Amino acid sequence: MKLITGVDDAGRGPVIGPMVLAGVAIEEDKLERLERMGIKDSKLVPPALREDLFVEIKKIAKHKIIIISPQEIDAALNSPDSNLNKLEGIKMAEIIDALEADESIIDCPSVNTKAFSEFMNSKIKVKTKLICEHKADLNYVVVGAASILAKVTRDAEIEKIRKKYGEVGPGYPSNPITVAFLKQNWNKCPEIFRQTWKTYQKVAQGKNQKSLKEY
């Protein structure tokens, strides 16, 4: 029976916490079972149901989850030979290699699907048919399943940060709780921030300039 993998990410844009990539591999004849479970893009699934589906997906499908720290993200963005898309592509290839499916479907993070597909094919070691599409989490239930594993894992990582450091909000630069936490704690717990993000740099530079003026 044909084995199909879906791969998706969660937490690509936040200034706080990790990005998470997840892959789900399942036999083609079980895809309908995923649909009956109500699996779809994680953004369309209520949080409580996501938690339940997270457990059920792991019971019936092979899976692999990779957590990418803020430090690893910053290292990629500070390297002249890398960027966020390349980092994500390398990690997606790791997932595809680990799950060894006949067909692998990814939610493309790049605006250029052709170039990203070529990059992915240069990194994947196993024999698989690669499908690289925008909004694959909406169009393929197995990618939707991967998006749920990624989202629930990312939420759990943020909860760990919240318990240790206090209310950080969801971690997105547009969130006022996150921005307020960043302004108060940018230099107290730098390990949880993506320091290459403009949001972080703007706060850090502003605070440093203020300190120099006070001096």
Architecture of 3-163 per CATH? 2-Layer Sandwich (3.30)
At residue 14, the 3 state secondary structure works out as coil
pLDDT of residue 164: 97
Neighbours of 25 (CB within 10 A): 25
Q: How many CA atoms lie within 13 A of 176 on its CB side?
A: 0
Q: How far is CA 160 from CA 12, 101, 109, 201, in A?
A: 18, 33, 26, 24
Length of the chain in terms of residues written: 215
Distance CA(110)–CA(194), nearest Å, equals 20
> Under a CB-based contact definition with an 8 Å cutoff, are residues 68 and 21 in contact?
yes
CA distance 130 to 101: 10
Q: Where are the extended beta strands (E) located within 121-201? A: 129-133
**Whole-number pLDDT of residue 200:** 96
- pLDDT above 90 coverage of the chain, percent: 92
In this prediction, residue 41 carries a pLDDT of 83
- In 3D, which of 197, 208, 212 has the Cα closest to residue 78? 197
CATH 3.30.420.10, the chain: domain bounds: 3-163
In the chain, how long is the greatest CA-to-CA distance? 70
pLDDT value for 212: 42
Q: Looking at the domain covering 165-210, what would its CATH class be? A: mainly alpha
pLDDT score, position 215: 44
Give the residues of the chain that fall short of pLDDT 50: 211-215
Phi-psi category of residue 85: left, alpha or beta, with phi > 0 → left and psi -120 to 50 → alpha: alpha
Mean pLDDT, rounded, of the chain = 94
* pLDDT the model gives residue 40: 86
Which pLDDT score is estimated for 1? 83
Structure tokens at 116: 């990203």
Answering whether pTM is above 0.85, one says: yes
Q: Which residue has the tokens 């457990």?
A: 55
pLDDT at 157: 98
Domain with CATH 1.10.10.460 in the chain: 165-210
